[in-house]
Amino acid sequence: METGLVVFAFLPGESLIIFASTLAAITGSALDIRILIPVFFFAALIGDTVNYEIGRNLHHLSFFRRVIPEAKLEKARSYFKKHGGKTVMFGRFIPLIRTFIPLISGTARMEYKKFCLYNFLGVLIWVTFGSCLGYFFGQLDFVQQHFSLIFVLLALITAIPGVLITLYKMLRNNVSA
15-19 long-range Cβ contacts below 8 angstroms, 24+ apart:
15/154, 15/155, 15/158, 17/127, 17/130, 17/131, 17/134, 18/130, 18/131, 18/133, 18/134, 18/137, 18/154, 19/134, 19/151, 19/154
- Answer for the pair 99, 161: CB distance below 8 angstroms, yes or no: no
Would you write out the chain's pLDDT as a tens digit for each of its 177 residues?
Answer: 555 455 455 556 677 888 888 889 888 767 889 999 999 999 899 989 998 998 888 877 766 666 777 778 788 888 888 898 999 999 888 877 888 899 889 888 899 999 999 999 999 999 999 999 999 988 899 988 888 888 888 778 777 877 888 888 888 888 766
What's the pTM value of the predicted model, to 2 decimals?
0.75
